[in-house]
Structure 1
Amino acid sequence: MIAATHYLNFPGNTEEAMNFYKSVFGGEFIAFHRFKDSPGFEKMPKHEQNMIMHASLPLGKGLLMATDTLDSMEQTLTPGNNYHIVVHTESEEETNTLFKGLSAGGKIEMPLNKTFWGAYFGMCRDKFGIQWMLSYDINHPTIDHVKS
């Protein structure tokens, strides 16, 4: 495993929140993407297209990442479900093993799959209700900013 990071969900104010964290912690965003930058965005409601799909801010040796929740995807934000623990892995095999273990007795929210952004990625909620994202960066498997 390379590192674990924090992934926050916001009800439409990710841009404001991440700019606030940037002002507190410093640094520069290494990713800041809107839903309109993704394939199929034209099928989304207009008011959601400019919302934040993914933002990443270096935080020490890890990352603080965030996204906006979408009503059109029936995502409801309540206290306790507004974060994920992201595990950055070193191989697809490790990703498969950890995902299988974490999702046992829980719920797979997004099956492991190769994504358009170059990761082997999946999301699950374990049997204790903790939300996990597992990600193996296919193009850059040992990115320096996420090494522990």
Structure 2
Amino acid sequence: MSISLNPYLCLDGNTKEAVHFYEKALGGKLLSIMTFGDMPADPNHPLTDDMKDRVMHAHLKVGDADLMFSDTFPGMPFQPGDTVQIAIHPREEARAREIFAALEDGGQVVMPLQKTDWSPLYGIVKDKFGVTFQVNVPGEQPQ
């Protein structure tokens, strides 16, 4: 079984600042940063101009560890102190479904498992202890 975990920091509009701060403070290397505006337009969910600049996903490599970030999306609640999530990356979709179901037991689904532009299967669940997990089956990586 192949699985990896990493911290995922969710912030409220200051992710770019945080990524660059941690890059310098921790001696990391910014591998990628994508804003909501970089994603294909969705007429069912139009973005305001200020939303387009918010970070959808950023990846900072610190030594052998991965630290990931995102800004909240408008309408999503933001509670300071509830900013760190755990991202789980099982390679197999069946294992992702098992993990998600186990975490969902007594918890709350934030975003159901579904196909996304970056993953064949992705979802967010808050477990019964209040810990939020992102379950993400890695998509095919460009060669």
Name the TM-score, length of structure 2 as normaliser. 0.88
C-alpha distance in structure 2 between counterparts of 1:114 and 1:137, whole Å: 11
Shift of 1:85: 0.5
Q: Could you say which residue in structure 1 is the equivalent of 2:48?
A: 45
Instruction: Deviation per CA, 1:69-126: give whole Å up to 9, x if none.
Output: 13x3x12321332121111112111101100000111111111112111342110000
C-alpha distance in structure 1 between counterparts of 2:42 and 2:51, whole Å: 9
Q: Could you say which residue in structure 1 is the equivalent of 2:102?
A: 101
C-alpha distance in structure 1 between counterparts of 2:92 and 2:98, whole Å: 10
Cα distance, 1:41–1:82 mapped onto 2, change above 3 Å = farther
Q: Could you say which residue in structure 1 is the equivalent of 2:63?
A: 60
Q: What secondary structure is seen at the aligned counterpart in 1 of 2:114?
A: strand
Q: Structure 1 counterpart of 2:47, which letter?
A: M
Instruction: Deviation per CA, 1:18-49: give whole Å up to 9, x if none.
Output: 00000122232222001101123671111111
Q: What secondary structure is seen at the aligned counterpart in 2 of 1:81?
A: coil
Q: Could you say which residue in structure 2 is the equivalent of 1:145?
A: none
C-alpha distance in structure 1 between counterparts of 2:106 and 2:7, whole Å: 23
Q: Could you say which residue in structure 1 is the equivalent of 2:89?
A: 88
Contact 2:118 2:139 (C-alpha < 8 Å) held by counterparts: no
Cα distance, 1:119–1:25 mapped onto 2, change above 3 Å = farther
C-alpha distance in structure 2 between counterparts of 1:8 and 1:16, whole Å: 13
Contact 2:58 2:69 (C-alpha < 8 Å) held by counterparts: yes
Q: What secondary structure is seen at the aligned counterpart in 2 of 1:115?
A: coil
Q: What secondary structure is seen at the aligned counterpart in 2 of 1:30?
A: strand
Identity of aligned residues (%): 32
Highest RCO, 1 vs 2 (Cα 8 Å, sep ≥ 6): 1
Structure 1: segments with no counterpart, 5+ residues? 141-148
| RMSD after superposition | 1.6
Q: Could you say which residue in structure 2 is the equivalent of 1:122?
A: 123
